[in-house]
Amino acid sequence: MSAGREELPAVSRRRVRLALRAAREHTGLSQGDVSRKLGWSLSKLQRVELGEVAVSPTDLRAALDVYQVTDPDRIAVLVEDARIARRERYHTTPELRDHLPSGLLQLLQFELAATVIREYQSTLLPGYLQTPAFAEATLAWFDRNLTVVEREVRRDVRLARREQVIKREGAPEYRLLLDESALWRMVGGLEVMADQFEDLAGVSAWPNVHVRILPMDDGALMGMFGGFSVVHLGADPDDAVLYRETYLRDELVEDAPEIQYHLDVFERVWRRSLDEAASRAVILARAYELRAQRARQSGRRQEDRPS
């Protein structure tokens, strides 16, 4: 079921910051002009417009007055959003705040408001689609960088996202562009991999899930691009955020040109990838090959046992 407005402080903070910036630009005032009129430091206004801090309802009303926004309904909506945005600490549990990166904390909220998610991965399946065994094997790589508790929290969050994001009522359309090389990277052994790809093939048949494979003979340059997600938050195609994740770091990007660049790249490569039926066949073929390897290994062990 879709989350209510009051449950998503990050989304509300974003609406407020975009509205304030648009209102300022509409008046033709610079950030310096506004900060002087409001008696704010320039850095405070910049941080509000960047979404780094939540603005109080009182400060919001003062800014809207400077921007000559007088529509009472519009003001009431933004004031309510400002109140919601300031509940961030109560929305996110201490366990998540202590053990998840900041970008992911925000992404978890944006996902609940998403209408479309486009994701490219060059090395691994995304968290939404990982089986428990595959998630465990992936997180085991970080045994020297993450504590046991940190790995457990990330595993639990990762596994919950399938139900909370792509399987829930009113789930967004989810498009995954997966580099074929991800099918050949060994994670957790033959059985874990086979189970994972059979599961992926099943999920790819869900009506809101679309999975395409980018063949290795056509994806060298895209493989250098790195994984990313573009999360759309409404009917307006410009209402989107970009999430990028590397080894132990992540970032949430709200710069419109940067988001559009990644979206253009995704769509161009999406059209060049295998269609969904062919992609599912490739995934299942890999799963069957892994099953066959597992069976051959098991058969050889049987022969090696003394009679």
DSSP assignment string, 184-249: TS--S-HHHHHHHHHHHHHHTTSTTEEEEEE-GGG-HHHHTT--EEEEE-SSSTT-EEEEEE-SS-
Report pLDDT digits (tens) over 235-267: 777 799 999 987 778 899 988 899 999 999 999
Q: Provide the residue type at 72 as one letter.
A: P
Q: Is the pLDDT of residue 140 over 60?
A: yes
When mean pLDDT is compared across 52-56, 194-198, 290-294, the lowest value belongs to 52-56
Query: What is the pLDDT at residue 2?
Result: 41
CA dist 262 and 266 (Å) reads 6
Question: By C-alpha distance, which of 33, 55, 54, 31 is closest to 43?
Answer: 31
CA distances from 265 to 56, 178, 212, 222, 236 (A): 38, 14, 15, 9, 19
Most confident range, picked from 29-38, 48-57, 84-93, 293-302: 29-38
Residue 26: how many other CB atoms lie within 10 Å: 11
Cβ 273 vs Cβ 256: under 8 Å: no
Tokens (6 digits) for 136: 């465990």
| Helix or strand (DSSP H, E) at 157 | helix 148-161
φ/ψ of 179, rounded to 5, equals -65, 135
Report pLDDT digits (tens) over 33-44: 999 999 999 999
Which one is predicted more confidently, 52 or 28?
28
Q: Is the pLDDT of residue 89 over 80?
A: no
Does residue 61 sit in helix, strand or coil? helix
Report pLDDT digits (tens) over 110-133: 999 999 999 999 889 999 999 999
Class of domain 5-91: mainly alpha
CATH, domain 101-299, list 3.30.870, 3.40.50, 1.10.287, 3.10.350 = 3.30.870
Domain ranges of the chain: 5-91, 101-299
CA dist 244 and 234 (Å) reads 20
Over the chain, what is the mean pLDDT?
89
Query: What is the pLDDT at residue 219?
Result: 61
Query: What is the pLDDT at residue 302?
Result: 63
Instruction: Sort strands 228-232 and 240-245 into parallel, antiparallel or unpaired.
Output: antiparallel
When mean pLDDT is compared across 121-125, 153-157, 217-221, the lowest value belongs to 217-221
Cβ 240 vs Cβ 263: under 8 Å: yes
